[in-house]
Amino acid sequence: MTAHIWRVLAIYVILAASLSEQQALKQACPSCDGSQLCNCSSMGLDFIPPGVTAKITVLNLAHNRIKRIQSQDLQQAVNLRALLLQSNKISSIDEDSFWSLEKLELLDLSNNSLAHLSPVWFGHLFSLQHLHLEGNSYRDLGQSSPFSSLKNLSSLHLGNPQFSVIRHGNFEGIELLHKLWIDGSNLSQYEQGSLKSIKQINHMILNLRNGYIFSEIVRDLLHSVTWLEVRRIAFSIAAEMQVLRVMSSSFAKKISFRQTLLTDATVPEIVSILEDMPQLVELELVDCRLLGTGQWKMEIQAKKSQTLRILTIKKLSIEEFYLFTDLHSVEGLLSLLTRVTVQNTKVFLVPCRISQNLLSLVYLDLSANLLGDLSLEHSACQGGWPSLQALNLSQNSLSDLERTSKSLSHLGNLIVLDISQNNFGEIPDVCDWPKTLKYLNLSSTQIPKVTTCIPQTLEVLDVSGNNLKEFGLRLPLLKELYLTRNQLKTLPGAAPIPNLVSLSVSRNKLNSFSKEEFEGAQVGAVHLSLMECHRSLVVSLICVLVFLVILLLVAFGYKYHMVWYLRMTWAWLQAKRKPKRAPPKDVCYDAFVSYSENDSDWVENTMVRELEQACPPFRLCLHKRDFVPGKWIVDNIIDSIEKSRKTLFVLSEHFVQSEWCKYELDFSHFRLFDENNDAAILVLLEPIQSKAIPKRFCKLRKIMNTKTYLEWPLEEEQQQMFWFNLKIALRS
């Protein structure tokens, strides 16, 4: 019995503990709640939060301050596929921390503070495919191989600025890698044969400064690497290039140079090394700098690579590109090239002779350069690019569509042409395109309409991002049409484009969209945004919403006299901006009379007659008579008060309810109602209950309570007395 109780208690304790742990995880990163994907990146965590269970498959703990990984931290996470721990401060990992992670495929420990790597950590990671260890502080990989259990490893990133030794056996157990990146900028010792144990590496990235080490490593990789990428090498004189000579025996098919410095002296060396490579097909230069003007020595022509077919140059900065004219030394290399990309390199001309030498060229990408109409005419000269099938001139300086088409019309094999992101602005009625053209990209070229300049042979047409109002072309072969970001009001008709399969029309001004418009067409995919599909629904929804908001505002405004307060604020602001009371010389009225339309009969007939025909007469300012037309009422009032010695308020129940608001500005500006100022005179036409005055007119209530006022008597004989008092008040 007691045993039973103990067992229940134990289960209860374990359950409670696990519940509170899950609570802890939920608190540390709320997104983990009940989710398989747990993103706790950048949460300022100091440790791995407890409660990581078997449910979680992706755990992102990157960019925190975690220092240590302990045995129990990930013990429950048996279904984890990806564990991201990069950019923390991890300096210690318990040996068995990762032992339950048998399904883990990605482990990122980069940018931490690991000073050594232990083979025991990775001992159970049988499914691991990607391991990132770069950016730590280890100087070597230990005496044996940390990777020997990683049978399924496909990519491995290694090294850091302190990494200095690679030993024999460090890569034991790895047979095949898709990608191996070694950041060895300070690598100073490499035991011969260390990398030879890997039978095949598809993409090897080397970031080395020591040329000797470089050649040692490449020597071990001659037969295993398919694509060798060299980063951050800076050789400025030819002699230094000799360490690269070993590459010429490599069986790599592709060589990339990234962030590499080239000079007129080293280019011929590199070319001659690459020419010797028996299987080199592709050369890539990315983000490199070339110091020089192309004055290369002639030996380049001596031998010719028989295998090089693909040349890619992206973002090459040539400091003196405008002096760069002499390219004839490479002409001999060109005839076998089939694909050339020169992107973002300030190319403004391809010399005709070069074009004519590109005999096998099928694909040419010259996007993001400086080609203009004239230089295109010269570059695509007669006999140039005779085999070309695809040409990319996107993001250049072309401005004349007719001329562009004419320059290219003789390219008898051209199928794909991308001239997007040029500034044509206009489109002629007739153009002269190659007869073979099937794909034309005219997106973002500022064309206002489409005309028969667009060739009938097209199967794909992109005219998105222009100013099109309609599309009425007949294109019998067209399969894909891109019309996004225009100003179309209606869809193109189906009959003129009978073979259309895909149509993109989002972000236009379509009003109606009916299926019938496309009956008979074989449109498989029409890409519309939510807005276009349900335009009427969306519009009604928006209308209803706007209406509700307005209703709310009105109700709110009515309840709290919003409009009144707004107007008063505005008037107050206006008054604040005005200078203080006008100097006395501007005073031209004895009194400004403020009264309500209801009381106009009394004011305009009785009072005006009495006061203006008195001896000496009073000069009164009445808004009907004396206000400057066209000025806002409040401005007029303020002006008139400023020009009058006194202000006479004719108060009645009606005035208070309807007109007082115009005056309840911040009259302190005029000190009208100060105790010692008697510029304000109040006349009560009828008795007013202080209670009848709305609460918000606190100033009026105050005046009524503190100032004496003149009351208009109904009895004839008392009226004489009233006038007498009023005149005295006005003169005072």
Ligand X SMILES: *[C@@H]1O[C@H](CO)[C@@H](O)[C@H](O)[C@H]1NC(C)=O
Nearer to ligand X, 189 or 279 (CB): 189
Instruction: Answer whether 428's CB lies under 8 Å from 448's CB.
Output: no
Q: How far is the CB of 91 from ligand X (least distance, A)?
A: 16
Options 91, 127, 307, 598; binder of ligand X; rule CB under 6 A: 127
CB count within 10 Å of CB 104 equals 27
List the interface residues with ligand X, window 190-209 (CB under 6 A). none
| 532 near ligand X, rule: CB under 6 A | no
* Minimum CB–partner distance for residue 369 and ligand X (Å): 10
Rg (CA), the chain: 43
**Binding to ligand X, residues 489-528 (CB under 6 A):** none
Of 39, 249, 301, 574, the residue at the interface with ligand X (CB under 6 A) is 39
Residue 97 or 441 having the CB closest to ligand X? 441
Can you tell me which of 18, 41, 71, 113 binds ligand X, judged by CB under 6 A? 41
Q: Which is nearer to ligand X, 427 or 638 (CB)?
A: 427
Report if residue 137 touches ligand X, rule: CB under 6 A. Answer: no
Burial classification of residue 21, based on how many CB atoms lie within 10 Å of its CB (0-12 exposed, 13-18 middle, 19 or more buried):
middle
CB of 309 to ligand X, least distance (A): 18
Q: How far is the CB of 314 from ligand X (least distance, A)?
A: 9
The reply to whether 227 sits near ligand X by the rule CB under 6 A is no
In the bound state with ligand X, the residue whose beta carbon lies nearer, of 43 and 359, is: 43
Within residues 335-364, the interface with ligand X by CB under 6 A covers: 343
Among 20, 92, 152, 279, indicate the residue that binds ligand X (CB under 6 A): 152
Q: Does 373 bind ligand X (CB under 6 A)?
A: no
Q: Which backbone phi and psi does 520 adopt, to 5 degrees?
A: 90, -20
Helix 633-643 and helix 562-577, axial crossing angle in degrees, nearest 10: 50
Exposed / middle / buried, residue 706 (Cβ in 10 Å: 0-12, 13-18, 19+): exposed
Side-chain-side CA neighbours of 258 within 13 Å: the count stands at 11
Q: Based on the shown chain and the rule CB under 6 A, indicate whether residue 482 belongs to the binding site for ligand X.
A: yes
Apex 374 CA angle, 370 and 376, nearest 5? 65
Element (H, E) at 681: strand 680-684
Does the bond joining 616 to the residue before it have cis omega, within 30 degrees of 0? yes
Contacting range for ligand X; rule: CB under 6 A; set: 1-9, 158-166, 243-251, 604-612: 158-166
| All residues at 6 or more sequence positions from 324 whose CB lies less than 8 Å from its CB, including other chains | 293, 294, 318
Stretch that binds ligand X, among 160-168, 200-208, 234-242, 249-257 (CB under 6 A): 160-168
Burial 564-598 (b: 16+ CB within 10 A, else e): eeeebeebeeebeeeeeeeeeeeeebbbbbbbbeb
239 Cβ partners below 8 Å, 6+ apart?
Answer: none
Q: Is 111 one of the binding residues for ligand X (CB under 6 A)?
A: yes
Our finding on whether 423 is near ligand X (CB under 6 A) is no
The encoded tokens of residue 549 equal 């908001």
Least distance to ligand X, CB of residue 151, Å? 7
Least CB distance from residue 63 to ligand X, whole Å?
8
Q: What are the structure tokens assigned to 363, written together?
A: 């694909």
Helix axes 562-577, 535-559, angle to 10 degrees: 70
User: Please, which of residues 232-291 interact with ligand X by CB under 6 A?
Assistant: none
Cβ-based neighbours of 367, under 8 Å, separated by 6 or more: 343, 344, 392, 393, 394, 395, 396, 418
CA dist 188 → 142, 222, 317, 462 (Å): 16, 21, 31, 54
Contact status: 161 vs ligand X (CB under 6 A): yes
Stretch that binds ligand X, among 127-135, 280-288, 524-532, 646-654 (CB under 6 A): 127-135
Q: Which is nearer to ligand X, 343 or 375 (CB)?
A: 343
**Straight-line distance from the first to the last Cα atom of the chain, in angstroms, rounded to the nearest whole number:** 108
Of positions 367, 484, 508, 640, contacts ligand X by CB under 6 A: 367
Q: Smallest Cα–Cα separation from 576: which of 643, 675, 698, 668?
A: 668
Applying the rule CB under 6 A, the residues between 690 and 729 that interact with ligand X are none
Q: At closest approach, how far in Å is the CB of 160 from ligand X?
A: 8
What CA–CA distance (Å, rounded) separates 321 from 186?
33
Binding mask 376-415 for ligand X (x = CB under 6 A): ----------------x-x---------------------
User: Which residues, numbered 441-480, are part of the site for ligand X (CB under 6 A)?
Assistant: 441, 443, 462
39-47, 424-432, 584-592, 681-689 -> range binding ligand X (CB under 6 A): 39-47
Distances (CA, A) of 383 to 128, 362, 377, 434: 54, 14, 12, 14
With tokens 């992102």, the residue in question is 60
Residue 418 interacting with ligand X (CB under 6 A): yes
Locate the DSSP E strands across 113-168. Answer: 130-132, 155-159, 165-166
Of residues 58 through 87, those in contact with ligand X by CB under 6 A are 60, 86-87
Instruction: Count the residues of the shown chain that bind ligand X, applying the rule CB under 6 A.
Output: 32
In this structure, are residues 29 and 50 in contact, taking their beta carbons and an 8 Å threshold? no
Indicate the residue among 131 and 637 with the shorter CB distance to ligand X: 131
| 256: alpha, beta or left? (left if phi > 0; alpha if psi -120 to 50) | beta
The least CB distance from residue 139 to ligand X, in Å, is: 9
CA 96 – CA 119 distance, rounded (Å): 11
> Does 162 contact ligand X by CB under 6 A?
yes
Region near ligand X per CB under 6 A, out of 17-25, 156-164, 221-229, 560-568: 156-164
293 binds ligand X (CB under 6 A): no
For residues 544 and 538, what is the distance between their CA atoms, to the nearest angstrom?
10
**Judged by CB under 6 A, which of 47, 126, 348, 723 binds ligand X?**
126
The residue (of 309 and 315) whose beta carbon lies closer to ligand X is 315
Q: Which is nearer to ligand X, 390 or 531 (CB)?
A: 390
| Closer Cβ to ligand X, 263 or 344, answer by number | 344
Q: SS3 string of 571-590?
A: HHHHHHHCCCCCCHHHCCEE
Stretch that binds ligand X, among 125-133, 401-409, 524-532, 537-545 (CB under 6 A): 125-133
Considering only residues 626 to 685 of the shown chain, the ones binding ligand X according to CB under 6 A are none
- Which of 326, 353, 229, 208 shows the shortest CA–CA distance to 282? 229
- CB-nearer residue toward ligand X: 424 or 663: 424
CA distance 328 to 331: 5
Report the interface residues with ligand X, using CB under 6 A: 39, 41-42, 60, 86-87, 110-111, 126-127, 129, 135, 152, 161-162, 164, 186, 188, 343, 365, 367-368, 392, 394, 416, 418, 420-421, 441, 443, 462, 482
